[in-house]
Amino acid sequence: MSVAATALGIALLVDVLRVWLPSIITIFGQAAATPAELMGAFALMWFVLALGAPPLVRRVGPRPVLLAAAIVLGGCRAGLGATDGGQVQLYVASFGLLAGLVWLAATAAGTADPTPGLVLGLAAGTVLHTALDTLDLTWRTDPLSWVLTGAMVAAFLALSWRAESAPGPVRAAPWLLVGPALLLSGMIAGSPALATTAVSYLYGGAAGTAGSTPLGDTWPGVVTAAAVALFAGAGLARPPRGPMRWLAPVPLLAGTVMFVVPPTTLLIPAILLTAVGLGACLAQAAPAAPAAPQAPAAPQAPAAPEAAAATGSAAAATTRGPAGVPGSGRPGMRAGFAVVGGMVVFAVGAVLYYSAYDLGYPNQWVPVVLALFVAAVAMRRPVRRPGSAVRRPLLVTVAAAVATLLAAVAVPNNAVQVREPEPGPVRVVAYNVRMGFGLDGRFDLAGLVDVVAGQRADVVALSEVDRAWLLNGGHDTLALIADRLGMRYVFAPAADAVWGDAILTRLPVTETRTVRLTPVGAPTGAQALAAVLDTGIGELVVVSTHLQPPPDDGPVVQAGEVVRFATGYAAGRPLVVAGDFNTEPGDPAFQVFTDAGLVDALAPARPLPTAPADAPDEQIDHIFVSAGLTATDAAAPPSTASDHLAVAVTLDRARP
């Protein structure tokens, strides 16, 4: 099939995955209310169902299966923007994923070399995600988004209709790498959100924290553009022969190791090394060039008609399936099973990596094992590939890099400069944003921003902030929220480098610090982030945290650690401790804060339940303040933009 059709189909499939993955968590899983094992089984079911595609392709032929699957994939991708979330979104995305897997199996049966289409498709997806500031077209409601989505789907269907089977041997190994390549690209090599996060760590006020990049900063775009160039250049270039070919997996393995080990300053080289190593391995796995034609054999006596017919039938059977389409026989069937099997590897890898934050086991080995798998498949046999199927690959590589950089520069940056504090009280908001997803399972950026803006907040403590998890669509949720509020941010990781807690403000931040909290059996990591702000009531220490209770117990141990850290760091200065504490008033963990002399700032308005957002009956989001502060106007504004309600309070100095 044509390179352009394959590339566009890959880009659409990645778009569907960016909706399907978070739908598993927020709709089917209801954000940890459903056992992780059940969520994993439901997710894997769709990939297992696709194992029936290769036999179907062999029986019917690649072209009719491909066209039918392309129509369903395109229709589901277009339809996702029209859903209002909920079960409809979950199953439209699920059937779109299944159609995408069937489309891959049919494409594999008639495409000798998938590498150019795969490389260009992943690169195009990165360029588009960069241009959209990591906010997918599915979550946008403006007319231009509908036009772009329709244009992509129409182009994909037109190219699929015109595509022809490519001559040459159909080798299974390159197709086996499609799934692992999608996962490593989405997690590391092709993630503009990870690039933004990586650069923001260079602006952190203390070790282990990240800060807002300056207005107009282009370094995240430069990192993403360099990654696209390295990936596309290595993937489309002629791979080296001889001993040099064994260098291809080295940067891939080094990059994945840097991704999972501290310090966070290694994230930038992790992105670049993974990009070039992944591209090089895909190039190594491409099918060998056809053997040179041999001299014609000496003429032989003509065979009997019956023998000639039998010989011809046997030869045809090895190259043509029952539908008479090249590649629909056993080689094409093996390639179909390989690509679906590779996508099963994608699913298993994603489940193993991200479910660790619910089940509590080490997951750092998952990207490294995926890299080893890619290396083992890619280096299985020598490559005699004469060159890429893409004309002028160097020109394509440069164009992709320039397009990425222009896309990054064109993204509006509405962040404002720090303002001098004005005399008067300070409005503080604490909000668990559930990675940006509302109760309907849609990425509700506008709803989150409306809640905070409606409180006219000066300081915002955010919990469950996701900055690049592919599981949640690969957004930089923190940068998106801060940009629309016109606030600067300080971020500290809790689970890994891109998931944690943040403080947003327009006020000057003079100092920051973070401390890791003891897991005590809780699967997800926890931390406490402190920032010293210059406010209208003087210097104010704000601590943002999200306590994680151990199984069948309250977060008493972590509560004590937060109190000791916060009070010690404040050293007598006015103090605010805010966030999702996973404990209710009167519980032992709650009393740890009050026993330390901190005041429940929301007490005058209680009962003030905050979760679940549509019918709150738990008071687990709190704001504690030191005795020298007074709290008024406590509120929990109604909204379903998250599974929690925000809590807000106005703080002033106590009058003598």
For the segment 456-502, what is each residue's pLDDT rounded down to a tens digit? 999 999 999 999 999 999 999 999 999 999 999 999 999 889 999 99
Share of the chain above pLDDT 70, in %: 88
pLDDT of residue 297: 47
Is residue 318 scored above 50 in pLDDT? no
Q: Where are the beta strands (DSSP E) in 467-508?
A: 488-496, 499-505
Residue 565: both structure tokens together: 């850290």
Is residue 294 scored above 90 in pLDDT? no
Rounded-to-integer distance, Cα 74 and Cα 62, Å: 18
CB atoms within 10 A of CB 592: 23
Least confident range of 87-101, 207-221, 249-263, 638-652: 207-221
Q: Assign residue 93 a region: left if phi > 0, alpha if psi is -120 to 50, beta otherwise?
A: alpha
Q: Which of 220, 230, 225, 226 is nearest to 252 (CA)?
A: 230
Is residue 317 scored above 60 in pLDDT? no
- 8 A C-beta contact, residue 508 and residue 534: yes
Share of the chain above pLDDT 90, in %: 68
Provide mean pLDDT across the span 211-227. 87
Is residue 428 scored above 70 in pLDDT? yes
- Name the β-bridge partners of 531: 512, 542
- Report the Cα 176 to chain-centroid distance in Å: 21
Model confidence band, residue 39 (pLDDT cutoffs 50, 70, 90):
confident
Model confidence band, residue 327 (pLDDT cutoffs 50, 70, 90):
very low
Side-chain-facing half-sphere of 162: CA atoms under 13 Å: 10
Q: Is 645 exposed, middle or buried (0-12, 13-18, 19+ CB in 10 A)?
A: buried
* Class of the domain covering 3-290+326-410: mainly alpha
Residue intervals of the chain classified under CATH 3.60.10.10 are 426-653
Instruction: State the amino acid at position 205 in one-letter form.
Output: G
Q: What are phi and psi of 271, to 5 degrees?
A: -60, -50
What dotted CATH number matches 426-653?
Answer: 3.60.10.10
Provide mean pLDDT across the span 304-330. 41
Q: In what order do the strands lie in the sheet with 538-546?
A: 509-516, 527-535, 538-546, 575-580, 621-625, 599-600
- 8 A C-beta contact, residue 227 and residue 275: yes
Rounded-to-integer distance, Cα 209 and Cα 571, Å: 21
Is residue 290 scored above 70 in pLDDT? no
- Name the β-bridge partners of 501: 492
Q: Which of 255, 493, 482 is nearest to 375 (CA)?
A: 255
Question: What is the pTM for the complete model shown?
Answer: 0.91
CB atoms within 10 A of CB 46: 20
Residue 173's contacts (CB-CB under 8 Å, 6 or more residues apart) are 285, 338, 377, 378, 380, 381
- 8 A C-beta contact, residue 173 and residue 331: no
Residues 143-183: tens digit of each pLDDT: 989 999 999 999 999 999 987 765 556 678 889 999 999 99
Rounded-to-integer distance, Cα 182 and Cα 339, Å: 12
- Report the Cα 451 to chain-centroid distance in Å: 25
- 8 A C-beta contact, residue 235 and residue 280: yes
Across the chain, mean pLDDT equals 88
Rounded-to-integer distance, Cα 504 and Cα 204, Å: 13
Residue 302: both structure tokens together: 């003509």
